[in-house]
Structure 1
Amino acid sequence: MQLFYTPDIEPAHPQYFLSEEESKHAIRVLRLEVGSEVQLIDGRGGFYTAVIQDAHPKRTILQITSVTESYNKRNHYLHLAVAPTKNIERLEWFLEKATEIGIDEVSLVISQRSERKEAKVDRLNKIITAAIKQSIKAYHPVLNEPVKLPELLARPFDGQRFIAHCEPGDKLNLRGELLPHGRYLILIGPEGDFTPAEIESALQNGFKPITLGESRLRTETAALEACFEVNFLNRI
């Protein structure tokens, strides 16, 4: 399957022009020709089958032959708010793997102990795009610009809210708390964890404390574990 990401495609239009970058990849790298069948995803749930009409390396013309809306739409909505890691490659790894497993939205949250205060969202979005093509997903996760924790805590969210942290105290297990096929927002802190004051503020804003197991996990590992658990618990 030759899959291309085409966010500007319109289902009602029978033709589509691949971007110069995608055209070059299709014709120069993949050696596709007139009559070759390809698949397209728009990041909004649309999955398309098309045939090459003009194999031009800068402006390949496609004829759309079929459209599937809401392709493999997930039965829940997962929003992870994750502190950017000091080593940006670890954050990139998390975004790639979480996209492949299944995630809908990611916020990069800056807390008091965050060692990284910024991130290049454009580059990170390219990693997400490559991951949806790899895993054949028609929905492109939303990646939000970095936001300070107090601002994120104050934002409304229509769903269950959780915070994973390493401070002592009673914590819940997602298996027993997660309402099936719901909407979830989960907070994952930086390498030094959230401060006690930040945890208390999250609790006051309706977040429930959760455990992700007995091991002390890196930020990106904890975020991926939360992503996996939510997806696993929503399989039925």
Structure 2
Amino acid sequence: MSPVDFRIFVEPQQGAGYADQLAVARTAESAGYSAFFRSDHYLAMSGDGLPGPTDSWVTLAGLARETTTIRLGTMVTSATFRHPGPLAISVAQVDEMSGGRVEFGLGAGWFEAEHRAYAIPFPPLGERFDRLTEQLEIITGLWGTPAGETFDYSGTHYSVAESPGLPKPAQTPHPPIILGGMGAKRTPALDRAVRHRVQHPVRAVGRPDPAVRPGGGCGRGGRPRQGFADVLGGLRAVRRAR
């Protein structure tokens, strides 16, 4: 039987503040769960979402300093929310703050209502995937640039000129990458391209691939198949108890 790696996944935009998420992360850590993942959303899909959204990478930075062993990541960061350069800096910084416990999830973004609610441009699907592709190329390029050298990139949507590619993540060559997507063509093609370029384990979630369970992770690259437990109900219970 293949080993199972139990991981927690929460959707705090439905109604959980930082204290709630910290309580869940610490409980999961003490119970032996290997990772705490959270969604990257700014608007509840149902209900009032009180007390309101929390930013995923601000939250993970806090958790990085208040936990010790559990891995931390997003399922998945929306490429529409952030520019690739600042995102590379944020993820690298949280990886350093955690002592190398970050897993970096990135997707094209899909929830149009939250973009309208928070003044975030929401381009058509094809452009969102184009931007996702360029963001992955830039972020991995920045992380992979040797110290003392610079990184340049010219794309349709983003350009980089003479970047020192700093800071570097604590993990080498960089944190594990998780790709989010449901497409039958673009997502697998992007998955293969990233695997070829970074030579590092990449997981793809949510796409129709027999090696991948939607919502979970793949067993490729010598990594165990992941088991995710959605504890949104637990977050609500914590909030009521508090």
Larger radius of gyration: 1
Fold conserved between structures, TM > 0.5: no
Q: Which has the higher helix share?
A: 2
